[in-house]
């Protein structure tokens, strides 16, 4: 009986907390952009809640939007690939939240000089505050030009805190390969032999957003390597860690391998690295903010006799 009473009390407290949380969201005013209609803004900073623009895995939040609101229900975002502004509908929810370009936002500040947005994480239309940790700061083009009087590119540069963080992560990655992280400037592979051809695989254009997801190119760098005059025909796909000295270390296969064949295939893959790749490729390690460090890349290797 005592257990049931405690259980009921727990649910009552949880329900009250949820009601309080939802009522607080619904008390926030519906965002309006009438006062800034037609003003062009440039994003100058995108960061996590801790103020950094990089995370442990090497993912970088980059300020890349140029936008203006042409109504309370639509916004225009510039597409570098299409060289034009593209229109996106704005959808409202929970009063304080709104959505466009596949993302949910909460307005933290809006004025003719600047906008601060919090990128919101929702699951089944429920706000996940613990995952809503990204913030975007935008300045109006007029404010940058006439008040700050600075090139927007300088405002977008990583901060000194970003640089210190990456330096620390590079030290970790270079002392322990298991701490490798994605290099903002990925590994560069160039053939130094007639028998080897290298192609870096580019990510595809996102048809909805109208631009390439550039983070895929450095978070998951992929390379197709063709080897002529190999000892036999073969085709392997595997990942390697390239250390800060440019040396490859086998990591794992990209497709499942039956347990009974794993040891044999691993020896073959390591042999391909030692015999062909290290001898026929010029390997430049990846780096982030000028710090070389160990990073993971994916290889699709095709050998022909």
Identify whether residues 139 and 222 lie together within a single domain.
no
Is 148 in the same domain as 238? no
Answer yes or no: is pLDDT of 191 > 90.
Answer: yes
Cα Dmax for the chain: 81
Say if residue 95's pLDDT is above 50.
Answer: yes
* Alpha-carbon distance values, 238 to 272, 285, 302 (Å): 11, 18, 12
What pLDDT does residue 80 have? 84
Nearest to 156 by CA among 243, 83, 63, 281: 63
Q: How far are the Cα atoms of 24, 132, 235, 257, 302 from residue 121, in angstroms, in the given order?
A: 17, 5, 41, 36, 41
pLDDT at 208: 56
Answer yes or no: is pLDDT of 215 > 90: no
β-pairing, 222-227 vs 295-303, is: parallel
pLDDT value at residue 25? 47
CATH number at residue 75: 2.40.128
Question: How much is the pLDDT for 149?
Answer: 96
Mean local confidence (pLDDT), 136-140: 98
pLDDT tier at 1 (50, 70, 90 boundaries)? Answer: very low
> Same domain, yes or no, for 258 and 292?
yes
Contact indicator for 155, 148 with CB cutoff of 8 Å: yes
Q: Are the CB atoms for 272 and 285 separated by under 8 Å?
A: no
Q: What is the percent of the chain where pLDDT is above 90?
A: 73
Domain final residue pick, 129, 157, 185:
157
CA gap 260, 250 in Å, rounded = 19
pLDDT band of 62, cuts 50, 70, 90: very high
Q: Tell whether 127 and 174 lie within a shared domain.
A: no
| pLDDT tens per residue, range 16-41 | 444 434 434 445 667 789 899 999 99
Predicted local confidence at residue 38, as pLDDT: 95
> What does DSSP assign to residue 36?
G
Instruction: Check residue 18 and give its pLDDT.
Output: 41
146 lies in the same domain as 174? no
Q: How many Å apart are CA 240 and CA 35, to the nearest integer?
A: 53
> What is the per-residue pLDDT for 23?
39
Taking only the tens place, the pLDDT of each residue in 239-260 is: 999 999 999 999 999 999 999 9
Judged against a pLDDT cut of 50, whether residue 8 lies above it is answered with no
Top pLDDT among 263 and 123 is at 263
Close Cβ partners of 259 (under 8 Å, ≥ 6 residues apart): none
- Is residue 2 in a domain? no
Burial pattern 231-254, b for ≥16 Cβ within 10 A else e, equals eeeeebebbbbbbbebebebbeee
pLDDT, tens digit, 9 for 90 and up, residues 75-85? 999 988 789 99
Residue 50: CB atoms within 10 A of its CB come to 10
Q: Residues 49, 82: one domain? A: yes
What HEC string does 237-249 produce?
EEEEEECCCCCEE
Instruction: Tell me the chain's radius of gyration from C-alpha atoms.
Output: 25
Least confident of 124-128, 164-168, 169-173, 282-286: 124-128
Task: Give the residue numbers spanning the domain of 90.
Answer: 28-157
The model carries a pTM of 0.82
Q: Is 10 domain-assigned?
A: no
Query: What was the pLDDT predicted at 91?
Result: 87
Mean pLDDT of 83-99: 85
- The two three-digit tokens of residue 124, written as one number: 């089944």
- Percent of the chain residues topping a pLDDT of 70: 87
Looking at the domain assignment, is residue 91 inside a domain?
yes
45 and 127: one domain? yes
Among 96-100, 109-113, 211-215, the range with the most confident prediction by mean pLDDT is 109-113
Beta strands in 129-277 (DSSP E): 134-140, 188-191, 196-201, 205-206, 211-212, 222-227, 234-242, 248-253
* pLDDT level of residue 47 (50, 70, 90 thresholds): very high
> How, if at all, do strands 295-303 and 234-242 pair?
antiparallel
């Amino acid at each position: 009986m005592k257990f049931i009473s405690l259980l009921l009390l727990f649910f009552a407290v949880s329900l009250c907390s949820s009601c309080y949380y939802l009522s607080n969201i619904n008390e926030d005013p519906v965002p309006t952009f009438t006062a800034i209609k037609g003003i062009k803004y440039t994003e100058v900073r995108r960061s996590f809640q801790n103020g950094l623009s990089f995370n442990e895995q090497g993912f970088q939040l980059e300020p890349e939007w140029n936008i203006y609101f042409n109504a309370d229900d639509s916004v225009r975002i510039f597409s570098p690939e299409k060289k034009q502004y593209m229109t996106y509908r704005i959808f409202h929810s929970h009063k304080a939240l709104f959505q466009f370009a596949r993302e949910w936002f909460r307005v933290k500040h809006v004025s003719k000089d600047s906008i601060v947005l919090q990128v919101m994480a929702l699951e089944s239309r429920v706000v996940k505050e613990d995952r809503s940790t990204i913030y975007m700061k935008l300045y109006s083009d007029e404010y940058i030009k006439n008040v700050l009087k600075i090139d927007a590119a300088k405002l977008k540069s990583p901060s000194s805190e970003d640089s210190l963080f990456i330096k620390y992560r590079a030290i970790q990655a270079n002392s322990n390969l298991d701490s490798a992280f994605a290099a903002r400037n990925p590994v560069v592979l160039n053939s130094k032999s007639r028998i080897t051809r290298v192609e870096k695989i580019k990510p595809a254009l996102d048809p909805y957003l109208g631009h390439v997801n550039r983070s895929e190119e450095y978070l998951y760098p992929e390379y197709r390597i063709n080897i002529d005059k190999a000892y036999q025909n073969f085709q392997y796909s595997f990942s390697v860690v390239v250390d800060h000295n440019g040396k490859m270390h086998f990591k794992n296969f990209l497709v499942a391998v039956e347990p009974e064949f794993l040891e044999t295939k691993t020896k073959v893959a390591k042999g391909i690295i030692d015999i062909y790749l290290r001898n026929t490729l010029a390997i430049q390690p990846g780096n982030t903010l000028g710090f070389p460090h160990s990073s993971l890349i994916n290889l699709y290797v095709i050998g022909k006799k």
